[in-house]
Amino acid sequence: MRLLRDGVAMIGTLALAVGYFASQRAALDGQAPAYAAGVDVPAVRLAATVLFVALVVLALIRNKNEEQGA
C-alpha cells in the first residue's frame, strides 16, 4: 500500500510541476490565454478530480504494518 501511495503522490507532483512549467512558458511566450483555454477542458478537470479522490482514499486506508500506538 505504501508503494501505491508513493506512486500516486509522485504522479500528482509530476503533473503539478509539468503544468506549472508549461503555464510559465506560455505566459512568457504571450500565449497565456490560449494555454488557459487549452487546459480548461473536461478531461483535465476529470483527471484532477480522479487524482484528488485517489489521494484522499489512499490517505484514509491504514497500512497493515503501521504501529497502533498511543
* 64, pLDDT greater than 60: yes
Query: Does 53 map to a domain?
Result: yes
pLDDT tens, 17-54?
999 999 999 999 999 999 999 999 999 999 999 999 99
How does DSSP classify residue 66? Answer: S
Q: Looking at the domain assignment, is residue 6 inside a domain?
A: yes
The three cell numbers of residue 62 are 491504514
Q: Is 17 left (phi over 0), alpha (psi -120 to 50) or beta?
A: alpha
> Is residue 66 included in any domain, yes or no?
no
Range of the domain at 46: 2-60
Amino acid occupying residue 20: Y
In this prediction, residue 69 has a pLDDT band, given cuts at 50, 70 and 90, of: low
Q: Quickly tell me which residue has 478537470 as its cell.
A: 45
